[in-house]
């Protein structure tokens, strides 16, 4: 099987000739310098857009700046109900970290509501297909559809601290934002369901320390189920980026329509082993991130851990081993080589 076929078959729940290995495209670009990674058996995955989001009636501009000698980019959003701004750091690789959120205090609710109401989704099927074709046999493209509405508000719009206070003091204002955003996501659901992506991820980075079981059941699960129903009706598969401790929410996650637990944080990064994940979520594919805590281990230790994970694969609904989180460049050759060697030994 080609690298693409191996990844695709596994994510779609089809048989493969061996456990697939894959990493993000940014970790092994399709250039001659990284051919050695593919020669080891590692494919790449990419998540090009399958839809575009427009903001009708709002003006958005960006201004470069600096904070504590760090290069930053400030986004300024002019809405009919007021101005919003946020601030991100920008590194050389294009990665971003949020320093300042759109929400500053309760006076921002009218502008945020206007901003959310301005969203309009349109298909971007051609862009997705072009990106998928560029990967060729070296990798596989799937659709990443962002966070669910409640997590988008908490993580990207307010930040966890401000959200926590608002949820206690003004939950009705937060829910007003939530319901508007959910309506916009429903437009996206239909576009993605009708689009070319066979596998879709939606939601993730869910931290049980800040997402209670009650809030997950009331405001996360319904969005996942609604989207999953549309996708499954068209023969598509749904996954989520579960890269945190999951034990506290594992029973509720079992009620999600997820076919794939993508970027699963296996112990020692997370708080569940592969065997426990297989028991909690029978018949689901586990696409695990090789633990970050082992990145600086000796090659023999990395190889032994990989063999241990492979030995637990029969207790899951299918297994992929992946590198989804950034790692030090000086660890790359050791990680790629040791993991690939262990999988080849036991496959």
What pTM did the predictor assign?
Answer: 0.94
Same domain flag for 63 and 49: no
Same domain flag for 92 and 128: no
Residue 91 pLDDT greater than 80, yes or no: no
Same domain flag for 293 and 336: yes
pLDDT of residue 273: 95
Same domain flag for 50 and 92: no
In the chain, the number of structural domains is 2
Query: Which residue, of 72, 88, 117, is where some domain finishes?
Result: 117
Q: Is 101 helix (H, G, I), strand (E, B) or coil?
A: coil
Same domain flag for 147 and 282: yes
CB 193 within 8 A of CB 231: yes
CATH number at residue 138: 3.20.20.210
In the chain, alpha helices (H): 3-11, 35-39, 109-117, 125-135, 149-151, 160-169, 171-193, 213-215, 221-233, 250-254, 274-280, 299-311, 332-346
Sign of the dihedral through C-alpha 150, 155, 159, 161: positive
Query: Which residue, of 117, 147, 163, is where some domain finishes?
Result: 117
Same domain flag for 50 and 31: yes
C-alpha–C-alpha distance, residues 313 and 346, integer Å:
11
Same domain flag for 316 and 186: yes
Identify the domain containing residue 28 by its residue range.
Answer: 3-55+120-346
**Ramachandran region, residue 340 (left: φ > 0; alpha: ψ -120 to 50; beta: rest):** alpha
Same domain flag for 90 and 137: no
Same domain flag for 236 and 136: yes
| pLDDT tens per residue, range 41-76 | 999 999 999 999 999 999 999 999 888 888 999 999
Same domain flag for 300 and 334: yes
| pLDDT tens per residue, range 134-169 | 999 999 999 999 999 999 999 999 999 999 999 999
């Amino acid at each position: 099987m080609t690298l693409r076929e191996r990844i695709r078959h596994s994510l779609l729940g089809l048989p493969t000739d061996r456990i697939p290995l894959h990493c993000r495209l940014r970790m092994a670009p399709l250039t001659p310098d990284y051919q050695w990674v593919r020669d080891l058996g590692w494919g790449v995955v990419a998540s090009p857009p399958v839809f575009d989001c427009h903001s009708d009636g709002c003006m958005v501009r960006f201004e470069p700046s600096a904070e504590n000698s760090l290069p930053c980019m400030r986004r300024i959003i002019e809405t009919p109900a007021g101005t919003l701004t946020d601030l991100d750091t920008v590194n050389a690789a294009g990665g971003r970290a949020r320093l300042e959120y759109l929400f500053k205090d309760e006076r921002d609710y009218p502008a945020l509501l206007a901003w959310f109401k301005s969203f309009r989704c349109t298909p971007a099927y051609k862009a997705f297909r072009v990106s998928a074709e560029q990967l060729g046999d070296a990798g596989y493209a799937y659709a990443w559809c962002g966070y669910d509405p409640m997590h988008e508000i908490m993580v990207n719009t307010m930040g966890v601290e401000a959200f926590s206070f608002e949820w206690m003091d003004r939950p009705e204002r937060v829910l007003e934002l939530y319901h508007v955003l959910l309506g916009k996501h429903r437009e996206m659901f239909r576009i993605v369901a009708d689009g070319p992506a066979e596998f879709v991820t939606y939601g993730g980075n869910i931290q049980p320390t800040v997402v209670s079981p009650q809030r997950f059941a009331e405001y996360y699960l319904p969005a996942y189920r609604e989207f999953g129903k549309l996708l499954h009706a068209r023969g598509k598969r749904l996954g989520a980026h579960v890269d945190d401790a999951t034990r506290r929410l594992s029973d509720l996650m079992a009620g999600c329509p997820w076919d794939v637990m993508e970027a699963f944080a296996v112990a020692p990064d997370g708080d569940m082993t592969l065997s426990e994940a297989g028991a909690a979520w029978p018949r689901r594919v586990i696409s695990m991130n090789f633990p970050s805590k082992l990145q600086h281990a000796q090659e023999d230790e990395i190889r032994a851990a990989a063999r241990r994970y492979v030995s637990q694969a029969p207790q899951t609904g299918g297994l992929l081993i992946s590198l989804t989180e950034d790692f030090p460049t000086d660890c790359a050759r050791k990680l790629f080589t040791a993991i690939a060697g262990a999988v080849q030994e036991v496959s």
